[in-house]
Structure 1
Amino acid sequence: MRSSNYDKFPFVPVTAKPDACQIGWSAIAGALRVALPTEPTAPNQPIVLAVECYPGTNLQQLQQELAQALQPAQLIIADDLYRSPADIDALVAGPLTDDPVFGRLNGLTVADFFDSEKLQEAQATLASAAGQLVVVLGTGATLVCPTPAVLVYADLARWEIQLRQRRGEVANLGSANFAEKASLKYKRAFFVDWRAADRLKKQALPRADFLLDTNDPATPKLIREEDLRAGLAATVRRPFRVVPFFDPGVWGGQWLREVCDLPDGPPNYAWGFDCVPEENSLLLGFGEARVEIPSIDLVFAHPRELLGEAVHGRFGTEFPIRFDFLDTMGGGNLSLQVHPLTEYAFDKFGLAYTQDESYYMLDAEPGAAVYLGLKENADFPQMLADLQRAQDDPAAPFPAAEYVNEFLARKHDHFLIPAGTIHCSGANSMVLEISATPYIFTFKLWDWGRLGLDGQPRPIHLTHGAANVQPDRTTTWVEQNLVNCIEPVASGAGWREERTGLHEREFIETRRHWFTDVVPHHTHGGVQVLNLVEGAEAIVESPSGDFEPFVVHYAETFIVPAAVGAYTIRPHGAAVGTECATLKAYVRT
């Protein structure tokens, strides 16, 4: 393995103005008091401070701090106006289904959670508070009062929400399920809470006067709307990184711990999420202060500049490319799995596209392997019977070697995995996984007879899997179509470009550049995601000086917005005089 100067807290510098960011409740309350008018804007109206909250925000803390600091005549909690938890459970039961992992995408909104009578009573209370200060806070505060005097959006990243779910600190939207398994809370948030909240966020955040960063309960931060807007505008016109996060797993390894300088606490690190804008956060720098926002806010605010016209036209305000790490160095095999075909994903789950992916080998020990596709003349019905037998009887392990190809994996190999292909990364590998974004839809077929970190069997999805494994993707086809399908594309002084995939069934194109000197790149009107897969560090520059030079280190993933246009990459620092490599992904148009 190798050490590196991997940056775990990348940020986008916005401004050094000392008053741009208010830190701590005292400073925040002071800024809000200044912003609130002393008189209502219309006769017989209240002065309303609305705090729209993303689900997972600590409402108790917000209520306590704002009530103490502002002394409002009335304080209305939007969440208290919801239908009963039993009614909401019934409301979401259909989309959630009875599967422990999968639900169905749906059109539920935050408005659907409100009890109409309670809402009307709260609005009557508002109307009766003429000339007085009223604070309305919670998820749906802007539905209680659509036109407040001051609007604050209290935001936090999904990864932080997941950590709070695991600690039992938060329940799902409109629920009291604090003690429920974290995996079930995550599932409900993924299919219901976050979808509904994002629909409301798209309406509320552009109207907000302030953004409140609630990721760290001990150090809340408040910035004005114009400074948030400046930060997002700065980000979308330069290369940037989102804040990575890491998680242990039953098969996890030790490579990420060493290379990314991660804490010793967990037994391993299985996943490293280095570019999943739905769940990563984005740090904006205001002098020494760092304001953390969900990186999806950038997608919502600047989809055309970030994604490009064609990608935005196809995917809307979704970021379609995902880069993450799968570390099995000193660990075990991933589960044997398959992803749904496009039509299956749409019919069963309401997904517009599926999780096509690939494994790029950042590193591999001798003997490491990738399981990919079926062997020639494999008896498919018998394989399904053996998978079922292994599921029913732990003493009858699935004989994977009889049915599934096992390819030796070396550093810089690239294995393509279109949906419907049975696959699995083996032990002692470090995978950079490049995929489409709907990443929750993995059908596990066999988990090597082990338990999860919670001591319970991990869910297996044989019925889904059997309906999607393509039995004609056998050895010869896989070798010709999915294993190291590398083609030279172009070259210049000190660089060469190769196409490494993906398969024609997949909408993502990948290109690898080897270089010892300056490499010209261009976004061609579409977002690009890159990782420095070889070399200590490189520098990304604008030929016309449109953005400040941007340094990236080994294994760091970075995003180049469509609006950037032309840019160059060259070795930097300790990498000067050595050969470096980047792997770039973009949506084919």
Structure 2
Amino acid sequence: MSKYLPKGIVRGAYDKAPSVAVGDGHPAWSGSGAWARLAEEATPGRVVAIDTYPGSDLPGLQRELRRAAPAALVIDVEDAAALAPEAIESLIADNLTDDRVFGVLDHRVLGDFYDSERLRRVAELVRSTDAPVILIGWGATLVPVEQDLVVLADLARWEIQKRQRAGAPNWRAGNGSDDQLRKVKRGFFVEWRVADRHKRPLFDRVDYVLDANASMREAKLITGDTFRRGLEIAATRPFRVVPFFDPGVWGGQWMKDVFELGDEENYAWCFDCVPEENSLLLDVGGTVVELPSLDLVFRHPRELLGEKTFARFGAEFPIRFDFLDTMAGGNLSLQVHPLTDYIQNAFGMTYTQDESYYLLDAGDDAVVYLGLKDGVDPAAMEQALRTATTGAAPFEADDFVNAYPAKKHDHFLIPAGTVHCSGADSMVLEISATPYLFTFKMWDWGRVGLDGIPRPIHLDHAVANIQWARDSEWTRANLVDQVTEVARGDGWVEEQTGLHEFEFIEVRRHWFDAAVDHDTAGTVNVLNLVEGAEAKVESPDGAFEPFVVHYAETFIVPAAVGRYRISPHGAGVGQRLGTVKAFVRGTERATDG
């Protein structure tokens, strides 16, 4: 019998592999069929460029191409023309810094990592042969030669991180055995930025897209037209990205039980809507193709985000939903996030990681640490923290930080600069701004990470950002229990639950047992079904097929959708349901109610 399953909820109903149906008339090839299709395109006198994402299995790609097209000349462009690893290291040293976690965003383009003369020599080699030529690698399209066919081999960031944990190095780096945090840092601050800058212009010209997330032998292939059509469909109707789950030193048991997860000892995180990391699945006639969900953000930013949100943030999805599970687990690290001015000057990010904790579930003794106690002496607290980092004495958090009782459906607001952490026995839906890497840990309760290494503490960064005036009085008045009813109708109530005026995200909660009308009002909406078994999202004018969501599932409603309706469905009929909805404050257009 489940210890955590809410009444009326079916264990495992949470969909861990949601997909977007592309519709009929679109081909897809898998495994040997995919390689045979590419081999058919590699005919004498033709040049095929397969541009990859850093982290792709280039040896596997080369092996499958040579098996399928033995007459073709396969050229690894990285090996032939990229800068030497030591030259790349020198070029990006200032961006990587000496810190394990934090670097500075890189604004280079991929051509900066290539030798133009060697690229020219590759082009001469291509022109000198009558054999079919296949250029492969990150930067294959940089070769200055006419390319008859362009293929994008795409890869999600989460898959890259899993490969790195298994020993894969960064791009052209001999760091396979290095600290995983440093590998992610190099990806986040340099490689992924450059890679996204490189691939965006390819979207209009690609003839095929290769799903490089699985083994190359089982890779899947779709046409460029199918790729573009799938993203177009996703931008005009509700959808979900693919959640991924990860264990942690403080992780709990709630998700493992309710979502029927695997064999890990615990699960700490679920990234349920982090388009920088998540994948988007396209169902192409029964063949499911995995793409980075960022491709949708890049391809259709106006339709997805809305004109005003796009004007404010560019092609970046600014809202993040994720789960933090400490049920039968431990406290998160005591932490603070950087102020906007600090994150801009120190790391090159344009906006910061404001956030909030929505309690999806909570044990009887659950607390949220939030803000400082009245009368705290900053110098004394800093000294106690620094002493704790030496191991001489633990940091007595309860002497300095408020611990507010937390119960199911409470919402705690956490603007940047506020000391905070979730305590044990909580199931938190974290609603926040997207820059997810910028957590300055101050105290980690004397623990080490799952790898046996102490997790990084960043006291200097933290102390520079703590807002010492956010004491008990201020946090109670501004960050705790900020619920206001704003509207009601037949069978529904709408409440405003946050966020703080310093934060750009607005959150509305709806309780309902009948249909509720919503409107994106010109900006993207992100929602989660926080109460009840099942709901249906519909278009009042039939613009999209009805979309069914289950308990705890996060879903995205693109700005282009406009009006939509949510109502109880299936096992949710007869229940009191609840959704929380986040959107960018100040970007919504006026509606007529």
**Which category describes the TM-score, using the shorter chain as reference length?**
over 0.9
Match of residue 159 from structure 1: 158
Q: Label 1:90 to 1:35 Cα distance change in 2 as closer, same or farther (>3 A).
A: same
Partner of 2:414: 417
SS in 2 for 1:206: coil
Question: In 2, distance between residues paired with 1:73 and 1:245?
Answer: 38
Q: How far apart, in 2, do the equivalents of 1:91 and 1:14 lie?
A: 42
Corresponding residue to 1:426 among 420, 423, 428: 423
CA-to-partner distance for each residue in 1:431-490, whole Å, 9 max, x for gaps? 000000011000000000011101111000000000000000000110010001011111
Q: Which residue of 2 aligns with 1:285?
A: 283
Partner of 1:316: 314
Question: Are residue 244 (structure 1) and residue 250 (structure 2) matched?
Answer: no
Letter in structure 1 aligned against 2:516 = V
C-alpha distance in structure 2 between counterparts of 1:75 and 1:527, whole Å: 44
Which secondary structure state, in structure 1, belongs to the residue aligned with residue 329 of structure 2? coil
Q: CA deviation at 1:15?
A: 2.1
Whether contact under 8 Å (2:255, 2:267) holds in the other structure is yes
Judge conservation of contact 1:511–1:583 (CA < 8 Å) in 2. yes
Residue 345 of structure 1: CA displacement? 0.4
Q: Which residue of 2 aligns with 1:307?
A: 305
Selected match of 2:516 from 514, 519, 529: 519
Secondary structure in 2 aligned to 1:15?
A: coil
Gaps of 5+ in 2: 6-10, 587-593
In the alignment, which residue of structure 1 is the partner of 2:103?
A: 103
How far, CA to CA, are the matches of 2:571 and 2:335 in structure 1? 40
1:27 to 33, 44, 68: 33
Secondary structure, in 3 states, of the residue corresponding to 1:499? strand
2:89 alignment partner AA: D
Is residue 582 of structure 2 the alignment partner of residue 585 of structure 1? Answer: yes
Is the 1:72–1:135 contact (alpha carbons within 8 Å) kept by the matching residues of 2?
no
Post-superposition offset of 1:528: 0.5
1:126-525 matches, cutoff 5 A? 126-129=126-129, 131-145=130-144, 147-168=146-167, 170-217=168-215, 218-263=217-262, 265-392=263-390, 394-525=391-522
Give the conservation status (yes or no) of the 8 Å contact 1:4–1:554: no
Q: Kindly indicate whether the alpha-carbon contact (under 8 Å) linking 1:491 and 1:497 is maintained by their aligned counterparts in 2.
A: yes
Equivalent-residue separation in structure 1 for 2:181 and 2:145 (angstroms):
34
1:42 equivalent in structure 2: none
- Once structures 1 and 2 are overlaid, which stretch shifts more, 523-532 or 146-155? 146-155
The structural deviation recorded for 1:514 is 0.3
SS of 1:558 mapped into structure 2:
strand
Residue-by-residue CA offset, 1:472-510 (whole Å, 9 max, x unaligned): 000011001000101111111000100000000000000
Partners in 2 of 1:539 and 1:238 — Cα distance? 13
- Give the Å deviation of 1:287: 2.1
SS of alignment partner, residue 210 of structure 2: strand
State the one-letter code of the partner of 2:233: A
- Asked if residue 11 in structure 1 is aligned to residue 19 in structure 2, the reply is yes
Query: Which residue does the alignment assign to 2:589?
Result: none
Secondary structure of residue in 2 paired with 1:467: helix
- Further displaced range: 434-443 or 204-213: 204-213
2:413 and 2:480 in contact (8 A); partners too: yes
Tell me, yes or no, if the aligned pair for 1:307 and 1:526 is still in contact at 8 Å: yes
TM-score (norm 1): 0.96
Question: How far is the alpha carbon of 1:576 from its aligned partner?
Answer: 0.7
RMSD: 1.2
* Partner Cα separation in structure 1 for residue 110 and residue 558 of structure 2: 31
* CA contact 2:123–2:145 (8 Å) conserved in 1: no
Q: Which moved more, 1:219-228 or 1:508-517?
A: 219-228
Q: Distance in 2 between matches of 1:112 and 1:544?
A: 50
- Is this contact kept in 2: 1:50–1:145, CA < 8 A? no
Aligned to 1:84: 84
Compute the displacement of 1:308 (Å).
0.3
Q: Is the 8 A contact 2:533 2:571 kept in 1?
A: yes
Cα separation, 1, equivalents of 2:294 and 2:451: 30
| 1:327 to partner: Cα distance | 0.2
Output the CA distance in 1 between the equivalents of 2:165 and 2:200. Answer: 27
CA distance in structure 2 between the aligned counterparts of 1:203 and 1:179, rounded to whole angstroms: 34
SS in structure 2 at match of 1:203: helix
- Counterpart in 1 of 2:8? none
Find the residue that maps to 1:360 and give its secondary structure.
strand
Q: Secondary structure at the match of 1:188?
A: helix
SS in 1 for 2:204: helix
Structure 2 residue identity aligned to 1:343: D
Q: Give the whole-Å Cα distance in 1 for the aligned partners of 2:144 and 2:161.
A: 29
- Cα offset, 1:72, TM superposition: 4.3
Q: Cα deviations across residues 297-333 of structure 1 (Å, max 9, x unaligned)?
A: 0001101000000010111111000000000000000
Give the whole-Å Cα distance in 1 for the aligned partners of 2:238 and 2:285: 20
Question: Is the 1:333–1:426 contact (alpha carbons within 8 Å) kept by the matching residues of 2?
Answer: yes
Contact 2:165 2:180 in 1 (8 A): yes
- Contact 1:36 1:149 (8 Å CA) reproduced: no
Partners of 2:331 and 2:373 in 1: how far apart? Answer: 19
Structure 2 residue identity aligned to 1:206: D
Partner amino acid, structure 1, of 2:93? A
Structure 1 stretches of 5 or more lacking a match?
39-45
Partners of 2:507 and 2:582 within 8 A in 1: yes
Corresponding residue SS for 2:556: strand
SS at structure 2 position matched to 1:212? strand
Aligned-partner SS, 1:207: coil
Taking the aligned partners of 1:118 and 1:293, their CA distance within structure 2 comes to: 32
**Contact preservation (8 Å) 2:157, 2:276:** yes
Contact 1:337 1:422 in 2 (8 A): yes
- Say whether the 8 Å CA contact 1:356–1:419 is kept in structure 2: yes
Distance 1:425 1:568, change over 3 A: same
Instruction: Tell me if structure 1 keeps the 8 A contact 2:42–2:69.
Output: no
SS of the counterpart of 2:22? Answer: strand
CA contact (8 A) 2:105 2:348 kept: yes
Q: Partner of 2:119: helix, strand, or coil?
A: helix
Distance 1:380 1:179 in 2: 40
Offset of residue 76 of structure 1: 1.4
Q: Is the 8 A contact 2:43 2:132 kept in 1?
A: no
What is the SS of the residue equivalent to 2:537? strand
Displacement of 1:566 in angstroms is: 0.3
Q: Post-superposition, which runs of at least 4 consecutive aligned residues in structure 1 deviate over 6 A?
A: none
1:218-244 superposed Cα distances (whole Å, 9 cap, x missing partner): 421000111111111111111000000
1:41 maps to none
For residue 146 of structure 1, report the CA deviation from its aligned partner: 5.9
Name whichever of 557-566 and 212-221 sits farther off. Answer: 212-221
Aligned residue for 1:114? 114
Residue 78 of structure 2 aligns with an amino acid whose one-letter code is D
Structure 2: distance between partners of 1:211 and 1:202: 13
- Kept after mapping to 2: 8 A contact 1:271/1:324: yes
Is the 2:110–2:195 contact (alpha carbons within 8 Å) kept by the matching residues of 1? yes
